Structure 1
């Protein structure tokens, strides 16, 4: 049984993520963004990540390559500013407007004049769109792109090019006269004026802004929108892609088998998804401990010889580095946690907890490690402090008879074995194609 390729995993995650975003089914975009963020900036805002990808995209880079020459032909209009003055006159007198002004108030007042001063108008609708688009790009380059300290970024945006672009936008005399920035609301008149323009400076800006707007609104039906989102999104390691592919497939299987519906995630929640039926509530966590803790500390003044020696190791480690030691005896974090409860008792002790480990491997030794990790999670898991108050217990959950506590391992390329000892082993291909009811959760 061969392993699933990285490209196939990426395609699966792309397809499933787009399906969730496009259909309106709720998934925790912050949690997904944190898993897919390849910038090194610890980004949790999905819109921010999309702006970065937009700025890195090939259509934007092609447009900006032509920008220095095109900015010399920013469109302007000749206009006249009229001003009513009294006494001293500067500029040409508009006698028609002067006579009207005088007769409107006092025909005998010969000290009142209306002057006119010609000026160049930059505040045209197409210029507002142009300046807004360039401001979005410049702010993203200055704040985010330049902060990415990775070689692939420099291949796309060198430090010199990033600095030159930001400087060009901030110091261009034409752009400086256009009153707009990255927060300027774009109206239909701005879009229409740019669309109808014969200058590529404007009609290409219109096309790029439309693309940007569709990207922010998750309109992935258009291939170009999908390409921009995923052009540099899948730099994460293969293990992360495999974990996300497993999570999405497990979610889909639960939806199909139990007709559960994804529910709105509360702000600040670490869950990647929450599913509900009329009776059940299922919280799904990926690479998060959720309401559990897997931290076993050394006891004070351990009596066991092994523990005393381990304590000395930690003390020497602390002294060598000159900092405090956390003195962990064990610390872990499963790839998957599912917490199941009846909705009427959502804040009480869960009815079922499932812990999962995902291994993109066919190795027997890796599978053996996964089995040990799952049994460690099951043995050491306890409710974290806030959860222990709700559940009225701070004991090891494996000792709680009221909780159905199990583990699941998903491997890729390793022949699955039947369930035993509270542990289910599934092959990735089985959850990619179909999962029988009860293989994951028996509701």
Structure 2
């Protein structure tokens, strides 16, 4: 059986991400964003990531290229400012308004005048939308894009392009007179005025702002919005794509089989998703250890001959490099951690823990390595006991008879169906069937 292609995996991840975000499903946007970050800057703010995609999109760049010529025809309106003064008169007197004011207040007071000063009005509804859109782009380009020191960014927005755009907007005398910025609330009157305009400066600004607003609100039913996000989406390495595809397929299968919905993620949680039933809470972590640790340190004074010699190796290595901190004897992190806990109890100890390892391969040697890695995770996983226990030390999960510990290896096309009591091997394509059979979760 051949492996799933990279393009198919990318399409699967994009489709599933759209399905969760577009329907308002509470997937952990921070956790997903860190996997799909195009900048290499470990961006965890999904809204920020969407702004970057918006600035990188082709419609925005085309609009920016046409901006210098179009800004010369920015709309204004002629208006008149009237001022009530007493004594010395400066400016043209509005005699009709002056006589009406004197008559209404004091007909005998000949020192009071109303003057009229014409001025150019810039605070038009379409101008407010235009300035707000350009301010959003300036902030994104100046703060986010310019900090990305990678060739693909410079191909889309060179340093000269960034500097020219920021200067053009910030120093334009017409835009300076429009009182709006990136945080200005855009009202329906602003949108409608830009939409009805015959000038491309405004009606294209309207179209871009509408797409930005829909992108910001995850309205991926609009194909143009999907295109903005995913045509500029950095596609991570194939292994990460495969891991995300496995996670999404597991989540979708759990939802379908148990008729449950994902629960909103609490702030600061590393879980990519949470599922709750009346009795159970299931936390799903991808590329995160969650409440577990997978680390073994050398004892202070090892008595075993092998460990003593290994300690000397580490000491000499650190001394040679001039470092003080020694490497641990073992450190690991599974691709998947699932914690199943009972909700209505004071004991925070999980009822079940599932550790998973994903390999986008059909190779037997890769499968063998994955199984060994999984056995290491199962053997070394520690969980800190708190409520309901007299001690608060981290203990090995495998030694705790109160926790059901299981392992899951998911490959892509490996024919083996080998299964032990606590470890199961699945093919990527059969995840839904195994969830439906109840072999993975029986809660």
Deviation at 1:218, TM superposition (A): 0.9
2:404 matched residue in structure 1: 404
Contact 1:253 1:434 in 2 (8 A): no
2:291 matched residue in structure 1: 291
Deviation at 1:391, TM superposition (A): 6.0
Deviation at 1:252, TM superposition (A): 1.0
Deviation at 1:45, TM superposition (A): 1.1
Say whether 1:113 aligns with 2:110.
Answer: no
1:191 matched residue in structure 2: 191
Tell me the secondary structure at the aligned position of residue 313 of structure 2: helix
Say whether 1:231 aligns with 2:231.
Answer: yes
Most deviating of 49-58 and 18-27:
18-27
Deviation at 1:259, TM superposition (A): 2.0
Deviation at 1:32, TM superposition (A): 1.0
2:137 matched residue in structure 1: 137
Give the Cα separation in 1 of the matches to 2:434 and 2:53: 34
Deviation digits for residues 136-190 of structure 1, max 9, x if unmatched? 0010000111111211111111111111111111111111110000000000000
Give the Cα separation in 1 of the matches to 2:45 and 2:87: 59
Give the Cα separation in 2 of the matches to 1:176 and 1:24: 38
Most deviating of 317-326 and 98-107:
317-326
Contact 2:298 2:329 in 1 (8 A): yes
2:252 matched residue in structure 1: 252
Give the Cα separation in 1 of the matches to 2:318 and 2:75: 66
Deviation digits for residues 212-232 of structure 1, max 9, x if unmatched? 001111111111111111112
Contact 1:53 1:229 in 2 (8 A): yes
Give the Cα separation in 1 of the matches to 2:388 and 2:414: 37
Q: What are the equivalent positions in structure 2 for 1:19-418 lying under 5 Å apart?
A: 19-345=19-345, 347-383=347-383, 387-390=384-387, 392=389, 394-418=394-418
How many residue pairs were aligned? 440
Deviation at 1:75, TM superposition (A): 0.4
Give the Cα separation in 2 of the matches to 1:319 and 1:89: 87
Most deviating of 370-379 and 323-332:
323-332
Most deviating of 429-438 and 288-297:
429-438
Deviation at 1:268, TM superposition (A): 0.7
Contact 1:315 1:325 in 2 (8 A): no
Give the Cα separation in 2 of the matches to 1:94 and 1:294: 83
Give the Cα separation in 2 of the matches to 1:432 and 1:176: 58
Shift of the 116–401 alpha-carbon distance from structure 1 to 2, 3 Å rule, reads same
Give the Cα separation in 1 of the matches to 2:92 and 2:105: 22
What CA RMSD, in Å, does the superposition of the two structures yield over aligned residues?
1.5
Deviation at 1:436, TM superposition (A): 3.5
